[in-house]
Amino acid sequence: MCQKVKPVQLDVRILARNDNAAAHNREHFSERGVFAVNVMGSPGSGKTALLEATARAFDDVRRVAALAGDLATDNDAARLRRAGMRSAAIETVQACHLDAEMVHHELHHFDLAGVEYLFIENVGNLVCPAVYDLGQNANVVVLSVTEGEDKPLKYPTMFAKADLVLLTKCDLLPHLSVNVSAILEALGRVMPHPRMIPVSPLTGEGVADWMGWLTA
């Protein structure tokens, strides 16, 4: 019998399964009145330090919680618990990013009662986490002053998806030859609505502005 090769048109999103899980997470957050923030950035950019400062800035720390993704260890979640924030680790083992199903799985046994803001601290990486929707309400990218003024141009996908960029470790600026306006200019070339807040969890600089953005 003669066989013929035939084309089958599909036009389906390859990450549809992730997107469905993300939609489910988003519904879960919405039903509970939780504002979820996907916190992304390079390893060592200061994501955890920022969240520690955020925990300290809330009058009632029970309003915030965090899921902290890392390939191994629950060190970040433990740090956040020491800062008073309810938190759990998601160990990704091999994966260089969190996906919606990992978050969904963690949410099954994570108590969100009384939580208004949930921070999902992604794996330290400026590439892969930008690809996976987790069901978050906002993307915040943490960029430290030591990473280079052209970082946004090198990683346009990550920064194009950011709702806010937090420029961390600003207390180091007097010791560096970094031009903050050059970073802002680079952001303006990749972000449709560039918004950047310089912060220093160490000195507390900018934390009030960040809180203002978050709670607006």
- Interacting residue ranges for other proteins, rule: CB under 8 A: 1, 3-18, 95-97, 99, 127-128, 130-132, 156-158, 160, 188-193
Pairing of strands 64-70, 117-121: parallel
The SS3 assignment for 45 reads coil
**Shortest CB 70 distance to other proteins, Å:** 16
CA dist., res. 158 & res. 143, Å (int): 11
Nearer to other proteins, 1 or 216 (CB): 1
Nearer to other proteins, 10 or 113 (CB): 10
Q: Which helix (DSSP H) or strand (DSSP E) does residue 168 occupy?
A: strand 164-168
- From the CB of 48, what's the least distance to other proteins, in Å? 22
Nearest distance, CB of residue 20 and other proteins, angstroms: 12
DSSP labels, 81-113: HHTT-EEEEEE-TT-SS--HHHHHHHHTT---T
What is the DSSP-derived secondary structure letter of residue 150? T
* Shortest Cβ 96–other proteins spacing (Å): 6
- Shortest distance (Å) from residue 128 CB to other proteins: 4
Judged by beta carbon, residue 82 or residue 189, the one nearer other proteins is: 189
- 15 versus 57: smaller Cβ distance to other proteins: 15
Q: Is residue 90 within 8 Å of residue 98, measured between CB atoms?
A: yes
Phi-psi category of 124—alpha, beta or left, where left has phi over 0 and alpha has psi -120 to 50?
Answer: beta
Pick between residue 13 and residue 175 the one whose CB is nearest to other proteins. Answer: 13
The residues facing 139 across adjacent strands are 38
